[in-house]
Amino acid sequence: MEAVPRKRRPYSTLEKIEMKKTLVAAAALVSVSAFAQVTITGNLDFAGSNLSGSQTGAKGQTVSTTIGVSSTSVINLDAIEDIGGGTKVQVHYGLDPRTLANDSFAVSNNQVSATSGATTSTVLNYPTGLGRDETYIAFDSDAVGKLMVGAPNALGIDTNGVSSALGTGVGSGYGSSAMTNAIVKTRYDRSVRFNSAAMNGLSFQVVYAPGSDNAGGVTSYTAPGSGVVLLAQQIPNARKATEVGLSYSNGPLNARFTNIAQYAQTNPTGWYAANGDGTQTAINLVATKANLLAANYNLGATTLYFGVSNGDLMTSTTSATKVNQVRYSVKYDTGVFAVIGQLTTQRETTGAGVVTDRKVNGLRADYPLSKTSKVYAGYEYWNTGKLAAVTDTTTGDRKITSIGLQKSF
């Protein structure tokens, strides 16, 4: 005896509306997927840290995404469209969530002066607290390479990563300790980068920031024949720079060489270069150049890292300060946890012959919770090579001990 099929009850008006919404959303998703794949990835790293030492302000405890962490937090938005023939067009937008995560807002350092009667006050801009990380639009060809336009990462930070098992985290000497950043810039605004396709493990890279040494800020002029005073925005300043790199990656060996050159700069940089009264304070940054060589070699459970850099201090003024830096790093991965040790030394010699020896020692232990998360303990000792001064935070030493949790997605 055949079973009699049950009669389906009619859909209600509300159910029909919801089904229609679902079908429209699905159609929109298929339409978007046909043109571009959109992904959201990122990383969040928080650490509880204790600071001590003779540097001003190097005392106390904090929980932060910037102090004592093992990595840089970021939110990445990527839209990639395959246009055929092994080529793609990509939009990459990196957001820096650290200030938002720490304090829920950020105060911009872009300041203007407002005058009312005899009173002059400084007006601050308050943005949302989400900063910009690496951002670009790119044309990517499997056969030729990848061309990025916008604010792609500079070659120096990539070279730093090859020689540093600690990356940009606690103990690495990158960022707040002003060691690596003496001759390395993270990225240039308004720049272009090209990475060639690799051939037998060998590839080259170029970064170009066209820059401008025009007077920045807003200037006023009178329109001819009208007597009307108008405001004109100058081309935004950016220091002109070029970087050229050569890298090799094959099997256990990774190596990279980078040359960095910055042109002389006379005018202040940025959209808000002008003072509140429309004038500018002249600066005098001389041309600088630097060479970086980095390598790492994997021996199984142990990976050895080495880096050497020499050149000019990026912020050199009337004469270039010479910088020589050496880094040694080792990572031992037991399969259950990993231990990393690193030593970075730096000698600075001014044009007048004044020598300053700086160093950063770093140590970190990682315990993975999964493929994308870990807990860790870190330690950093930074010595600026100068005696401590009550009013100078760049002298003396500083120690950081931290425990943190990192998760990528």
pLDDT tens across 241-298, in order? 999 999 999 999 999 999 999 999 888 776 656 665 556 677 888 999 999 999 999 9
d(CA 241, CA 280): 23
pTM equals 0.81
In the predicted structure, residue 394 carries a pLDDT above the cut 60: yes
> Using alpha carbons only, what angle is made at residue 150 by residues 148 and 153, rounded to the nearest 5 degrees?
70
Q: How far is CA 167 from CA 174, 180, 249, 304, in A?
A: 8, 11, 18, 14
Burial of 268 (0-12, 13-18, 19+ CB in 10 A): middle
* pLDDT at 215 > cutoff 90: no
Q: What is the Cα–Cα distance from 361 to 383, expressed in whole angstroms?
A: 9
- Residue 202's alpha-carbon distances to 28, 143, 294, 300, in angstroms, are 42, 14, 15, 23
Higher pLDDT, 320 or 230: 320
54-83, pLDDT tens digit by residue? 887 788 999 999 999 999 999 999 999 999
Asked if residue 197 lies in contact with residue 144, where contact means CB atoms within 8 angstroms, the answer is yes
- Residue 221 pLDDT: 59
- The CA-to-CA distance between both ends of the chain, in Å, stands at 56
HSE-CB for 316 with a 13 A CA cutoff: 26
Compute the distance between CA of residue 312 and CA of residue 178 in angstroms, rounded to an integer: 14
- Reference 360, options 97, 145, 75, 169; nearest CA is 169
Average pLDDT across the chain, whole number: 83
Average pLDDT over residues 82-108: 86
CA dihedral of residues 363, 367, 370, 374 (deg, nearest 10): -50
pLDDT of residue 114: 47
Per-residue pLDDT, averaged over 81-109, amounts to 85
Span 360-379, average pLDDT:
97
Distance in angstroms (rounded) separating the CA atoms of residues 380 and 363: 7
Q: How many C-alpha atoms does 293 have within 13 Å on its Cβ side?
A: 4
- For the segment 224-250, the average pLDDT, to the nearest whole number, is 78
pLDDT tens for 322-347 read 999 999 999 999 999 999 999 999 99
Q: Decide which of 126 and 303 is more confident.
A: 303
